[in-house]
Structure 1
Amino acid sequence: MEAGADPPPGAGPPLCLADVERAAAAVLPREVWDFIAGGSGSETTLDANRAALDRLFLLPRVLRDVSRVSTRARLLGGPAALPLAVAPIAYHRLVHPEGELATARAAKAAGVPFTVSTLSSVPVEEIAAVGGTVWFQLYWLREPDRALELVRRAEDAGCSAIVLTVDVPWMGRRLRDVRNRFGLPGHVRSANIDTGAAAHESPAGGSAVAAHTRQAFSSALTWSSVAALRARTGLPLALKGVLTPQDALRAAEAGVDAVVVSNHGGRQLDGAIPSADALPEVVRALDGRCEVLLDSGIRSGVDVVRALALGASGVLVGRPVLWGLAAAGEPGAARVLELLAEEIEDALGLAGCDGVTAAARLRTVRGDAPAGRAPVAGPAV
Structure 2
Amino acid sequence: MDEAGLNLADVAADARRRLDPTRWDYFAGGAGGERTARANEEAFARRWIVPRVLRGVGERDLEISLLGSAVSMPVLIAPTAFHRLAHPDGEVATARAAAEAGTVMVVSMAATRRVEEIAAAGGTPWFQLYPQPDLEFTTAVVRRAEAAGCRALVVTVDSPVFGRRDRDLRHGFVDLPPGMVCENMRDATGQVRDIEMDAGLSWERIAWLRGVTTLPILLKGVLHPADARLAVEHGVDGVLVSNHGGRQLDGALATLDALPAVVEAVAGRLPVLLDGGVRRGVDVLVALALGASAVLVGRPVLWGLAVGGAAGVRHVLELLRADLDGALALAGATRPGDLGVDLIAPAARP
1:32 aligned residue: 23
2:185 aligned residue: 193
1:342 aligned residue: 322
Quote the Cα distance in structure 2 between the aligned partners of 1:277 and 1:198: 38
Query: 3-state SS of the aligned residue for 2:49?
Result: strand
Matches within 5 A, 1:326-341: 326-341=306-321
1:151 pairs with 142, 146, 157, which one?
A: 142
Q: CA deviation at 1:198?
A: 9.4
The one-letter code sitting in structure 2 at the alignment partner of 1:111 is G
Query: 3-state SS of the aligned residue for 2:249?
Result: coil
**Residue 341 of structure 2 corresponds to residue 368 of structure 1:** no
Matches within 5 A, 1:160-309: 160-182=151-173, 183-194=175-186, 212-213=194-195, 216-309=196-289
Query: 3-state SS of the aligned residue for 2:70?
Result: strand
2:35 pairs with 22, 34, 44, which one?
A: 44
Q: CA deviation at 1:360?
A: 3.1
Query: 3-state SS of the aligned residue for 2:42?
Result: helix
Quote the Cα distance in structure 2 between the aligned partners of 1:188 and 1:349: 45
Given that residues 105 and 330 in structure 1 are in contact (C-alpha distance below 8 angstroms), is that contact kept between their aligned partners in structure 2? yes
| TM-score, normalised by the number of residues in structure 2 | 0.96
Query: 3-state SS of the aligned residue for 1:66?
Result: coil
1:323 pairs with 299, 303, 314, which one?
A: 303
Is there any run of 5+ residues in structure 2 with no aligned partner, and where?
none
Q: CA deviation at 1:194?
A: 3.9
Quote the Cα distance in structure 2 between the aligned partners of 1:77 and 1:150: 24
2:82 aligned residue: 91
**Residue 6 of structure 2 corresponds to residue 15 of structure 1:** yes
Percent identity between the two aligned chains: 50
Quote the Cα distance in structure 1 between the aligned partners of 2:328 and 2:309: 29
The one-letter code sitting in structure 1 at the alignment partner of 2:176 is L
| TM-score, normalised by the number of residues in structure 1 | 0.88
Given that residues 301 and 344 in structure 1 are in contact (C-alpha distance below 8 angstroms), is that contact kept between their aligned partners in structure 2? yes
1:114 aligned residue: 105
Query: 3-state SS of the aligned residue for 1:59?
Result: coil
The one-letter code sitting in structure 1 at the alignment partner of 2:339 is A
Shift of the 300–162 alpha-carbon distance from structure 1 to 2, 3 Å rule, reads: same
Query: 3-state SS of the aligned residue for 1:171?
Result: coil
The one-letter code sitting in structure 1 at the alignment partner of 2:184 is N
Give CA deviations for 1:232-277 in whole Å, capped at 9, x if unaligned: 1111110000001100010111111100000000001000000000
**Residue 83 of structure 2 corresponds to residue 103 of structure 1:** no
The answer to which of 292-301 and 352-361 deviates more is 352-361
Cα RMSD, aligned residues only:
1.7
Q: CA deviation at 1:361?
A: 5.2
Quote the Cα distance in structure 1 between the aligned partners of 2:176 and 2:106: 21
Q: CA deviation at 1:302?
A: 0.6
Quote the Cα distance in structure 2 between the aligned partners of 1:360 and 1:72: 17
Shift of the 43–369 alpha-carbon distance from structure 1 to 2, 3 Å rule, reads: closer
Is there any run of 5+ residues in structure 1 with no aligned partner, and where?
1-5, 200-211, 371-381
The one-letter code sitting in structure 2 at the alignment partner of 1:260 is L
Quote the Cα distance in structure 2 between the aligned partners of 1:334 and 1:77: 24
2:338 pairs with 351, 354, 358, which one?
A: 358
Q: CA deviation at 1:187?
A: 2.3
The one-letter code sitting in structure 2 at the alignment partner of 1:189 is V
Query: 3-state SS of the aligned residue for 1:58?
Result: coil
Q: CA deviation at 1:333?
A: 0.7
The one-letter code sitting in structure 1 at the alignment partner of 2:264 is R
Quote the Cα distance in structure 2 between the aligned partners of 1:252 and 1:291: 10
How many residues are paired up? 347
